[in-house]
A and B are shown apart, each in its own frame.
Chain A
Amino acid sequence: MVDTDTIQVPTSSVVAATGGTAWTADELARRHRLVDAQGVPFGPATPTHAQLRLWRQRSRGLTDRVTVVVDDVHITYKVYEDRKPKAKDRFAGQSRTYREIHAVRGVSFEAHAGEAIGIIGRNGSGKSTLLQGMAGLLPVDRGRILAHSQPSLLGVGAVLKPDLSGRRNIILGTLALGLSKREAEEQVDEITEFAGLTDFIDLPMRTYSSGMKARLHFSIATAVTPEILMIDEALAVGDEVFKRRSDERIRELQESAGTIFIVSHGLEGVVDSCTRVLWMDAGRVIAEGEPGEIVGRYRAQMADEVRRDRRQRRGRGRRRRGAARGKR
C-alpha cells in the first residue's frame, strides 16, 4: 500500500509546467490552495484538480481497472430526407429517400476507473453520436464497445415523464435505478434540494425550463453512484450556482472510482474537471492527452478558423453588395 499523502505525479507534465523544476506534492497542493483562494491560475500546463485527483488515486492503485474499451468503432445512421422522391428512386422501389451519415469513423480508446474524459470538437464531429453509441441508443456498425456496466447518458432536454410532477419523476427514476421504495422516498428531499427545485417539485416536469429539467435529471442520475456516466452538454443550460454544485458532484463520482465522459463546448469546464481530453474531428479522434494542452491546441485552431470564416464572409458580402449595386 502506497502512502496516500504523497501524490505521485507523472513528472513529465509537471516538469513541463514549471519549465524544468519538478514540484513536490506539497508545493503543488500549496499552489492549488492559492488558486482556490485567489482565483489566479498559474500557468497553462499546471496540473488541474482533476488530474491531481487522478494521480492521487493512481498512487493508491485504484485506476488500473479498465471500465470502458472502445475498439475501432464506426457508427452510421440513416436520416430520412424531407423531399419528394425522384422518378429514379420510385423505380428502385423507394418511396422515401434517406441519407447515410457516417458520423463516427474508427474511434478507439480505453477509459479507467476514476477518469473524467472530456470530448471536444466542432459541431458535427461525432461527439454526441459516439456517446449515443456507447449508451446503446444507436447501433454500432463496426468495432465493439466493452464496458464494466451499461453506461447512462445525460442529454439536453431529456425528460423522464413530462406529465408527472418532479417529485414523481424522482421516485420513478430512482426506483428504475434499483432503489427500494423507502430509499427512494428518503432521497426525494435531498435530490430536490440538490436540483434547487424545492418550490417547483410538485409541478409537472413539462412546465420546467430547460435548465430546471437538466438539473433534475442530473440529480436523479447521480443519486445512485453510476459506475459510468456520460454527460452530453446537459449541464451547459444550468446556471452558475448549479454548475458549481454539479462540478462538485462529478468530483465525488470520480473519487469513488466512477468513469465520467463529458461532451462540452465550455472549454474552461473541460480543463477544470477532466483528467484527459479527446479531440474529435470528422468522426475521428485527432488528438488525445492532457486537458490543458489539447484544449490549448483546439483553441488555437478554432481562432484560425474564426479568422478564416470572417474573411470569407466579408469577401462574400462585398461580392453580394457589388452585385446588388450592378443591378441598380
Chain B
Amino acid sequence: MTTTQYEDLIPLGRSLPLRVYLRSLWDRRQFALSVPLGELRAQHMNTVLGNVWYLLNPMLQVGVYFLVFGLLLHTSRGIENFICFLAIGVFSYGYMQKSITACAASIVSNEGLIRSLSFPRAILPLAAVVRETLAFTTSVVLMIVLALVTGEALRPSWLELLVLVPLMGLFSLGVGFVFARLTDRLHDVRNLLPFLFRIAFYLSGIIYAFDRVVAGTHHEDLMGLLALNPFFTYGTLMRHALMSTYEVHPLVDPWLWPAAILYPLGFMTIGFAFFRAAEQRYGRG
C-alpha cells in the first residue's frame, strides 16, 4: 500500500486548522439562528401569560430596583430621570450577565448533543449569545419607550445603540468562551458565577452614578480607570446615547469608546483561542 493513501487523513484528537474550523462554523450559521428562536418560543410555553413574560420580566425588575434604591434608599440623588437611568443600567448589565452565564452552561448542558454528533462546538456559546440578544430586544424596546415617556428627546445619538448592542454581544461571547471551557472542566465554576456577577453589579454603577461617587473623593485623578470595567463602560455609553440629561465625568469620557471597541476585539481573540484549544475534550464529562 502506498503512502499517498494516507495523505488526506487527519489525526483525530487534534483540532482542525483555523480556516477549516471557521468555515464549518459558517456552514452551521442556521443552527445559531433558528435553534435560539425555537428555544425562546418554547421557554414560556407552560405559563399562562406566555410570551408576555419577555416584557413583564424586565418591567418588574426595574420596578423592584426603583422601589428599593429610588424610593427607599435614595441613591438617585443628583441623577435626573432616575427610572430611565436605572432601566438602561439594569437591562444592559442583565444582558451581558445572562449571555455570559448562558455561554458558561452551553457546553455542559448540551452534552448529549456533543456526544452524539460531530460539529464545531463553538456554535453552542454562539447560539447562547444569539438567544440572549433576541431576548434583549424586548428590553431595548422597553428602554426606548421609557425614555420617550419620561421626556427624553429623540436624538441622532440613539443610533449608537445599533453599534453598542453588537459590541456588548461580542464582548459577552468572548468572555463566555472562556467560561464555557472553565465550566466544562470544573463544574464548580457555575456556582461561583452568580457571586462574581453580584460583585460586578455593585462595582459597575448600575444603581448609582459611579463616576460621581469617585469624583466626590480625592481619587479623582484615577477616574480613567473606571473604563477598565467593561460593564461600567457599556452601561454608561448606553445611558449617554439615550439620555440627554446624562453627563459623563470629563475625565472618564474620552476612554469609554476606545475601551468599548477594544474589549470585544481582545476577548473574542483570546476567548475563542482558549475555547478552541480544548475542542476535543468537550463532552468527555
Chain A positions near chain B (C-beta within 8 angstroms): 64-69, 134-140, 144-155, 158-162, 164, 168, 171-173, 175-181, 184, 217, 220-221
Contact = CB atoms under 8 A, between A and B. Distances in A.
Contacts of A64: 5
A160, A175, A178 pick with most chain B CB within 10 angstroms = A175
Interface string B91-107: 00000000000000000
B269 interface: no
B34 A175 contact: yes
Interface in B95-123: 110, 112-113, 115-119, 123
Given A152-B116, A164-B42, A181-B30, 10 more contacts: A136-B283, A139-B13, A144-B12, A145-B12, A160-B117, A161-B112, A161-B113, A172-B31, A180-B30, A221-B117
B115 A176 contact: no
Interface of B: 1, 5-6, 8-13, 24, 27-28, 30-31, 33-35, 38, 42, 110, 112-113, 115-119, 123, 280-281, 283-284
Contacts of B38: 168, 171-172
Contact of B11 (A65, A67, A145, A159): A145
B9 A146 contact: yes
A170 B284 CA distance: 23
A217 B112 CA distance: 11
Given A69-B6, A146-B11, A178-B27, A172 B116 contact: no
B5 A66 contact: yes
B256 to A, nearest CB: 38
A134 B12 contact: yes
16 contacts: A136-B12, A137-B283, A139-B13, A139-B281, A139-B284, A145-B12, A147-B10, A159-B112, A161-B110, A168-B42, A172-B38, A176-B117, A176-B123, A178-B24, A180-B30, A181-B33
Nearest to B31: A175
B12 A158 contact: no
Given A151-B118, A155-B115, A175-B30, A140 B13 contact: yes
Contacts of A66: 1, 5-6, 9
B188 to A, nearest CB: 15
B120 to A, nearest CB: 9
A176 B127 CA distance: 11
A74 B145 CA distance: 63
B230 to A, nearest CB: 31
A138 B33 CA distance: 31
Contacts of A154: 116
B119 A160 contact: no
B9 A148 contact: yes
Contact of B112 (A65, A160, A221): A160
Contacts, number: 110
Given A136-B12, A146-B6, A147-B12, A160 B34 contact: no
User: Lowest 7 CB-CB distances: which A-B pairs, in order?
Assistant: A175-B31, A146-B9, A150-B118, A181-B30, A176-B119, A145-B12, A158-B116
A179 B123 CA distance: 14
A139 B285 CA distance: 12
Contacts of A172: 31, 35, 38, 113
Contacts of A65: 5
Contacts of B5: 64-66
Contact of A158 (B13, B112, B284): B112
A137, A164, A217 pick with most chain B CB within 10 angstroms = A137
Given A140-B13, A148-B8, A153-B115, A178 B42 contact: no
Nearest to B113: A160
A154 B116 CA distance: 6
A173 B117 contact: yes
Given A160-B113, A161-B113, A178 B119 contact: yes
A168 B5 CA distance: 40
Contact of B28 (A140, A159, A168, A176): A176
B119 A177 contact: yes
Nearest to B109: A161
A212 B248 CA distance: 60
B115 A137 contact: yes
Contacts of B35: 171-172, 175
A146 B116 contact: no
Given A148-B9, A176-B31, A155 B116 contact: yes
Contacts of A184: 30, 34
Nearest to A147: B12
A138 B284 contact: yes
Contacts of B9: 66-69, 146-148
Nearest to A185: B34
A52 to B, nearest CB: 24
Contacts of A139: 13, 281, 284
Contacts of B113: 160-161, 172-173, 176
B12 A178 contact: no
